[in-house]
Amino acid sequence: MSIEDALPPSLNLPPHLSAHKYFMVCTMTVAAWDTLVLAPRTWKLMRTEGWPTLKALFYFIRVFMPLEFTIVAVAFFDTKWSQETCQQFYLFEPICTAFLIAASSAAHAIRVYGIFDKSWTILYGMGALLGLQIVVTAIACGFWRSVPLEEGQGCIAGPKHNWVGIYWVAPTLLYACSFGLVLTRSLNSLKLKPMTLWKLMLRDGLNLFGAVFLVNLTNMLFWFITPTGENDSIKTMVSSMAAVLTSTMTLRIILSVRGPLAHGGSFALSGSTATSTSRTTHVISTRSGGVVSGLGAGASHPAHTYTLDDMRSGKPDEWAVEDLKSRELSASRDGKDDALVYPDIAASPGVSPEPNNLGVKITVDREARYENGDWK
């Protein structure tokens, strides 16, 4: 008797089943890590006002995804889980995953609708793909089965036929369209605001949309090009990871929306862009105590004004010599005559230059830009 024959079925695993279990551990690690990392942002989003559809979908995915795969992992790794129990449980994962992927796809459809400035054509098109996905996944769920394994090897759901892979074809088609539409919108925006492709990718979340599409494409190909037997679970090995990564990337797509989440948010360059020029006047007064005061402090007569453009028009020495001529003034303080020097910048005809009346008035022109609902 070999050592392998002496091992219990829970330890004597076929190569593909062993790989499947290792991959499931990676899937649960990603789900747990994502739950912890997004916890602060999840709490911050909770404190925002209102409950638009994207926000509701965010919290549904946020709670449903780790809950589903925790239960699936228990059934998968519990050595005491009997095959009779598995016959009553195996539909749990495909049905729950169908709900999870439908919520993620709905978030994609609404977000693309917002990116294209609330285009009804986009909404109808993405809505049609979402409806097709729901119908296809619902039909495909009726053709799953419990993968026949030995006692102690866990409970895994697998397809009865190879065509059941259309379960993943429908969402892959939707994510391909969402990625293509967002990519097209982003590239067209370069005509208005040129930037590097790296900044463009980060600004519009192209990496997130692309990651969702590639993960689902890989999973779909795994279903159709992997030669397996009836008792092999290798077809569904990538499915759990694909569902988890689709959920985590979709959550980040929602969190990356700038501004309100209502109606899918808006595109980075959409909305009105206004330019406002404000003129601020400051007076800097020099007192005998060496204190610099703010607007109008201690000024009893109009001070000479300078703008920053005037200052920039020449060298500091030039405007200082021409415009800010200084003279010595004698002031009596405590019965003693001390020579105090003040810039003659507030002198005007008929007004004696006193220390409290001397100062420079600076006019500052500031330009503020209004973009995406925020002043910058």
Greater model confidence, 341 or 200 = 200
Residue ranges of the chain that CATH labels 1.20.1070: 8-264
pLDDT of residue 61: 95
pLDDT band at 13 (very low <50, low <70, confident <90, very high): confident
Q: Is residue 301 scored above 50 in pLDDT?
A: no
Which range among 61-70, 133-142, 186-195, 261-270 shows the weakest confidence by mean pLDDT? Answer: 261-270
Which range among 105-114, 144-153, 168-177 shows the weakest confidence by mean pLDDT? Answer: 144-153
Which value, to the nearest 10 degrees, does the dihedral of the CA atoms of residues 158, 235, 243, 82 take? 40
Cα–Cα dist 179/249, whole Å? 13
Q: Which residue has the tokens 């890989």?
A: 218
pLDDT of residue 332: 43
Q: Is residue 284 scored above 50 in pLDDT?
A: no
pLDDT in tens, 152-193: 788 888 888 888 889 999 999 999 999 999 999 999 988 888
- 259, 219, 224: which is closest to 239 by C-alpha? 219
pLDDT of residue 167: 93
pLDDT in tens, 210-234: 999 999 999 998 888 866 666 677 7
Q: What is the average pLDDT across 80-85? A: 84
Cα–Cα dist 174/109, whole Å? 8
Taking every pair of Cα atoms in the chain, the longest distance, rounded to a whole number of angstroms, is: 119
pLDDT in tens, 319-330: 444 444 444 444
Cα–Cα dist 64/354, whole Å? 75
Token couple for 366: 């500031």
pLDDT of residue 366: 53
pLDDT band at 149 (very low <50, low <70, confident <90, very high): confident
Cα–Cα dist 375/278, whole Å? 13
Helices then strands, each counted (H, E), the chain? 13, 9
Token couple for 280: 């601020």
Percentages helix, strand, coil for the chain (3-state, rounded to 5) are 55, 15, 30
DSSP code per residue over 193-217: S---HHHHHHHHTHHHHHHHHHHHH
pLDDT band at 14 (very low <50, low <70, confident <90, very high): confident
Contact 258, 266 (CB under 8 A): yes
- 328, 327, 274, 277: which is closest to 307 by C-alpha? 277
Fold assignment, 8-264: Rhopdopsin 7-helix transmembrane proteins (1.20.1070)
- 287, 306, 316: which is closest to 362 by C-alpha? 306
CA distances from 343 to 195, 198, 327 (A): 48, 53, 7
Cα–Cα dist 284/289, whole Å? 14
Question: In angstroms, how far is the first alpha carbon of the chain from the final one?
Answer: 77
Helix (H, G, I), strand (E, B) or coil at 77: helix
- Measured in whole angstroms, the distance separating CA 8 from the mean position of its chain's CA atoms is 47
Q: Which residues pair with 280 in a beta bridge?
A: 364
Burial category of 215 from C-beta neighbours within 10 Å (exposed 0-12, middle 13-18, buried 19 and up): buried
pLDDT band at 363 (very low <50, low <70, confident <90, very high): low
